[in-house]
A and B are shown apart, each in its own frame.
Chain A
Amino acid sequence: MKKNIYQPIKARIEQVIPETSLIKTFVLKPESEFSFTTGQFVELSIPGVGEAPFTPSSDPAIKERIEVTIMKAGRITGLLHEMQVGDTLGLRGPYGKGYPLDKFKGKDILIVGGGVGLAPLRSLLFSLFSRIQDYKSVILRYGARTPNDIVYKEALPQWGTKDKVNALVTVDVGSPEWQGNVGLVTTVLADLGIDAPSVQAIVCGPPIMMKFVNLKLLDIGIKPENIYLSMEKSMSCGLGKCGHCRVGKYYACKDGPVFTYEQLKDIHDIWD
């Protein structure tokens, strides 16, 4: 019998890691090996209850497990937050196109994340770290609203100490204990000492943040075809059929979810 495109496989929750008061990372063990390329997304379902799309935050080289970092934002994510170790979720995918790692070779890679938008970027970082010799440098700029909203608090400081990697975290609003940078992520994008015309910039975060980061990146001379934006669209099928995720002449679930600004620049109201 032919494979049913809507059929999920089982994925058992092995571990739940609290990141912030609203964000948790779920470590899932799929019933069979599950491959994805960084930037692709999956559909997770609570059997018989609901389904939603997420981009894995784990290293694509690991096929036995996938990790998904989820912010409580609506009905399904709220229910997911109540799931426990041992529970079973449905998993379909992967869908969409990942980041074009081949195009990044030999270049400075600038990664700009906001809030829970660091999740898909973590998966990208793992991919980049594993072949760091292929890239000129990796620069990470991560912004969170407050120090309490920072995800991957343990791993983050280590990333910056790696060879060829430069990482900086900033918060919009500091706290008495916060020693780091305070200010919007757009304020830490100047004077990066990089060759702007060849820089590959990857942005993921809330739409308003992406909008302003994108403007800033264009401003410092990064080319529209070298800016990769993760578009958050309402998705249902992930298969290019249900029609929910249209962005101009594209479907985010097929042609995205990552688009270059070059692809999007003539489409109206992309940030709404």
Chain B
Amino acid sequence: METYFLNNEDIPKFYGAITEVYDLYVPVKIESSVAPACQSSFRLPTADYLLKNYALLDKKENAVFNDYRCVEPTRVFFTYFKEEVCSYFTDKAAQEQVDGRPKAICGVKNCDIFALRIQDYVFLNAGEEDPLYARRRQNTLVISGDCPSFKETCFCQAFDIPAYPAQGFDLNLSPLTHGYLLDVDSDKGRAIVKSLKDKLSPATFGQLSGRSAKRESVRMRLDEHLIQHKIPKKEALQDIVLSGYASPVWQEQMRTCVECGGCVFMCDTCHCFLLSEEHENGLNKKMRTWDGCLFKDFTRVAGGANPLKMRYMRLRNRYLKKFDFFISNLGFQACCGCGRCIEVCPGKIDIRYILRRLYEEKYLPAH
């Protein structure tokens, strides 16, 4: 990995170099008025970031560096909500599916990178690669960034996921006062850097130390913010979801679930889908649509039997999948602490609270 320094005023050139090859998506800030509460009395940010196509921005200056993750889960760039995965048995030549130019995503955070490991495991699984996912994953330029701040709902660090990426990106930006440190960790990234050579200088020891200090300060503030939530350590997760099978927390928490599916669709580590068939213009198509285990018919079989009949069973199922299935099969949990599910839920169902309850019921039964 190489690290350079890029001046603030050269950022448009940086974007420019990327748009030579890629369709670039950049974070755009949107204000929100809801001030989140924090017992540690930090003034937590209220704004959000949405990813927009840079070429289509009216004002290029609206492209900003995001202080924390964007609203959209990163997986929206790799599997689409509903899309054709193959067409078959037709005399017409199957339309070659083209995605157009490859995409570059700016504003990816370390939680998103962690989540991509889950998506990769599912869709790139040896020998059974999903062709669409594989192609997009290969062609997409991932430009990540450190988080100089965090949202109320961020809890990556509770699972030992730092608020800055160390790997899994093509390029990474760490904000300093007058510019950014730019880490380069792939050939795709190097190609961009090459075209910017005269704008970049090798990172100095002082700049690198400055970055370390900033990262450490965020780490301490986030730790302090997380104390109030008492989120169990990642090592305890599998154990508490298994032993908490009969916990009252599921029944209690599902009461406000309206089965909107927000939690599963906004989640960057959720990956479930449903295959269906369509017939259009003489083509038989297999379609893949995002699905989620919070929906009533997710596990219904042809005869009508459904192991997850009740809402509380489906809520529990989501946790078993994330914290039992994935830990058993992949060695880590399918949750990156991005907090998107907390933010989206109209029922105010909070994963931090559920995990804490499961932990306390097991280890602090006096509560």
Q: Give A contacts to B, CB under 8 Å.
A: 2, 4-8, 10, 45-52, 73-74, 76-77, 88, 90, 207, 232-234, 236-237, 239-244, 246, 248-249, 268-269, 272
Question: CA–CA, A142 to B288, complex, Å?
Answer: 39
Q: Which of B275, B304, B305, B309 contacts A236 (CB 8 A)?
A: B275
Chain B hits for A90, CB < 8 A:
88-89, 284
Chain B hits for A6, CB < 8 A:
85-86, 275, 286, 288
Question: CA–CA, A234 to B245, complex, Å?
Answer: 22
Chain B hits for A8, CB < 8 A:
88-89
A246 touches B275 (CB 8 A): no
Nearest first, the 4 closest Cβ-Cβ pairs linking A and B are A48-B279, A243-B272, A249-B328, A74-B302
Question: CA–CA, A47 to B320, complex, Å?
Answer: 35
Report if A242-B88 is in contact (Cβ < 8 Å); known contacts: A74-B303, A232-B301: no
Question: CA–CA, A237 to B130, complex, Å?
Answer: 11
B324 located at the interface, meaning its Cβ lies under 8 Å from any Cβ of chain A in the complex: yes
Closest to B327 in A: A249
B274 touches A48 (CB 8 A): no
B312 located at the interface, meaning its Cβ lies under 8 Å from any Cβ of chain A in the complex: no
Question: CA–CA, A52 to B277, complex, Å?
Answer: 11
Mask, B275-309, CB within 8 Å of A = 1, is: 11111100111101001010000111111110101
Chain B hits for A248, CB < 8 A:
320, 324-325
Closest CB in chain B relative to A252 CB, distance in Å = 11
The stretch among B120-128, B225-233, B358-366 that forms the contact with chain A is B120-128
Closest CB in chain A relative to B288 CB, distance in Å = 8
Chain B hits for A234, CB < 8 A:
298-301
Closest to B297 in A: A234
Q: Which of A45, A51, A244 contacts B298 (CB 8 A)?
A: A244
Chain A hits for B320, CB < 8 A:
246, 248
B271 located at the interface, meaning its Cβ lies under 8 Å from any Cβ of chain A in the complex: yes
B302 touches A237 (CB 8 A): no
A242 touches B272 (CB 8 A): yes
Question: CA–CA, A236 to B271, complex, Å?
Answer: 13
Chain A hits for B279, CB < 8 A:
47-49
Chain A hits for B275, CB < 8 A:
6, 51, 236-237, 242
B271 touches A241 (CB 8 A): yes
B277 touches A241 (CB 8 A): no
Closest CB in chain B relative to A231 CB, distance in Å = 10
B95 located at the interface, meaning its Cβ lies under 8 Å from any Cβ of chain A in the complex: no
Question: CA–CA, A236 to B287, complex, Å?
Answer: 11
B273 touches A236 (CB 8 A): yes
B177 located at the interface, meaning its Cβ lies under 8 Å from any Cβ of chain A in the complex: no
Chain A hits for B301, CB < 8 A:
232-234
Chain A hits for B302, CB < 8 A:
52, 73-74, 76-77
Per the CB 8 Å criterion, the residue count for chain B at the interface is 46
B131 located at the interface, meaning its Cβ lies under 8 Å from any Cβ of chain A in the complex: yes
Question: CA–CA, A2 to B309, complex, Å?
Answer: 40
Closest CB in chain B relative to A271 CB, distance in Å = 9
B160 located at the interface, meaning its Cβ lies under 8 Å from any Cβ of chain A in the complex: no
Chain B hits for A239, CB < 8 A:
125, 128
Question: CA–CA, A10 to B293, complex, Å?
Answer: 32
B277 touches A51 (CB 8 A): yes
Q: Which of B125, B273, B307 contacts A242 (CB 8 A)?
A: B273
Chain B hits for A233, CB < 8 A:
299, 301, 307
A246 touches B89 (CB 8 A): no
Closest CB in chain B relative to A39 CB, distance in Å = 18
Question: CA–CA, A52 to B280, complex, Å?
Answer: 20
Question: CA–CA, A139 to B127, complex, Å?
Answer: 38
Report if A49-B299 is in contact (Cβ < 8 Å); known contacts: A2-B129, A246-B325, A249-B328: no
B39 located at the interface, meaning its Cβ lies under 8 Å from any Cβ of chain A in the complex: no
Closest CB in chain B relative to A52 CB, distance in Å = 6
Mask, B76-119, CB within 8 Å of A = 1, is: 00000000011011000000000000000000000000000000
Report if A236-B284 is in contact (Cβ < 8 Å); known contacts: A74-B303, A241-B123, A249-B325: no
Closest to B301 in A: A234
A269 touches B307 (CB 8 A): yes
Chain B hits for A48, CB < 8 A:
277-280, 283-285
B273 touches A2 (CB 8 A): no
Chain A hits for B299, CB < 8 A:
233-234, 244
Q: Knowing that A242-B274, A243-B273, A246-B321 are A-B contacts, what are 5 other residue pairs whose CB atoms are under 8 Å apart, sorted by A's residue number?
A: A48-B284, A232-B305, A239-B125, A239-B128, A241-B271
B329 located at the interface, meaning its Cβ lies under 8 Å from any Cβ of chain A in the complex: yes
Closest CB in chain B relative to A204 CB, distance in Å = 14
Q: Which of A4, A244, A249, A269 contacts B272 (CB 8 A)?
A: A244
**25 A-B contacts (beta carbon < 8 Å):** A4-B85, A5-B129, A6-B86, A7-B86, A45-B286, A47-B89, A47-B279, A51-B275, A73-B304, A74-B302, A74-B303, A74-B304, A90-B89, A234-B299, A236-B273, A237-B273, A240-B125, A240-B128, A241-B122, A242-B291, A243-B291, A244-B291, A246-B325, A248-B320, A249-B328
